[in-house]
Amino acid sequence: MTATTGLFDLTGRSALVTGAAGGIGAAVAHALALAGAAVLVTDIDGPAAAAVAEKISATGAKADSFALDVRDRAAADIAAEKAAALTGGTLNILVNNAGVTAPAMFDKLQEESFRLMVDIHLMGAFHCTQAALPFFPTDGTGRIINVTSSAGIVGTLGQVNYSAAKAGIIGLTKSLARELARRQVKVNALAPLAATPMTETIRTNEKFAATMLARIPLGRWAEPEEIAGSFVFLASDAASFITGQVLPVDGGMVM
């Protein structure tokens, strides 16, 4: 192992990834495991989360799964404890990735839809982070990585609910980074853009797809696996002096 490779070595560390039954979450779970972490794959779809964990385990890495609705604080407590148990009681990495979309123009946006975005994205991150905190070490290996979006940075048409929740994630990230610095826990956010089930509606609509691609300097959508390495970076010793930041991984759309 070279010194550079060692910077990204997560051997002996545990990770909890929410919304990891597919898309970016599943890719992140695989990437963290490949880097050596023991991973708890969680999702509201328990069987799908279990399938991802089985694929990771088949590679020789350590993984388990848990059916988690991030709106349920009691379930988040159980998930954090299970993730910590993978490595003897310490949880090093939390990835708050769970999310959904419910697009609608503002004049037609229902209160239930707005609350759903806040409950899953923002309150979900709140629940999981509070549940995880008692298990975080103070040795500098603690990482919280929240998933936001360009929608939370610059806004987007037809997604006021989603944009507001993702902007809230940024505020949560920055404030937590200040609070948890004394415990040497680093808190950052990623704003990814990838070809996933959540973006399928845009990618398969000829008009929307052309408009979106015109906004991406690299001119294409990323595959989830291309995004996952950024999470490994923020989870690793290579990012030991980075906290309170938002990293867009979007082909240059936000710069």
| pLDDT tens figures, 40-71 | 999 999 999 999 999 999 999 999 999 999 99
pLDDT for the residue 222? 85
Q: Which residue has the tokens 């419910």?
A: 102
pLDDT at 85: 98
Per-residue pLDDT, averaged over 131-151, amounts to 97
Q: Mind listing the pLDDT tens digit for each residue in 194-242?
A: 867 777 676 676 666 777 788 889 988 889 999 999 999 999 999 999 9
Residue 168 predicted with pLDDT over 80: yes
Count of alpha carbons within 13 angstroms of residue 159, beta-carbon side: 21
Catalytic residue among 126, 162, 221, 233: 162
Question: Among 229, 95, 221, which residue's Cα sits nearest to residue 169?
Answer: 95
The whole-angstrom separation of Cα 237 and Cα 239 is 5
Q: What's the rounded Cα separation, in Å, for the pair 156 and 48?
A: 30
- Has residue 75 got a pLDDT over 50? yes
pLDDT at 210: 75
**pTM for this prediction:** 0.94
Q: Yes or no: say if 17 and 97 are a contact pair by the CB < 8 Å rule.
A: yes
- How does the average pLDDT of the chain come out, rounded? 94
User: What domains, with CATH codes, occur in the chain?
Assistant: 9-194+225-247 (3.40.50.720)
Model confidence band, residue 171 (pLDDT cutoffs 50, 70, 90): very high
108 is catalytic: no
pLDDT digits (tens, 9 = 90+) for 11-38: 999 999 999 999 999 999 999 999 999 9
pLDDT of the residue at 211: 78
pLDDT tier at 1, thresholds 50, 70, 90: very low
What is the mean predicted confidence (pLDDT) over 105-116?
96
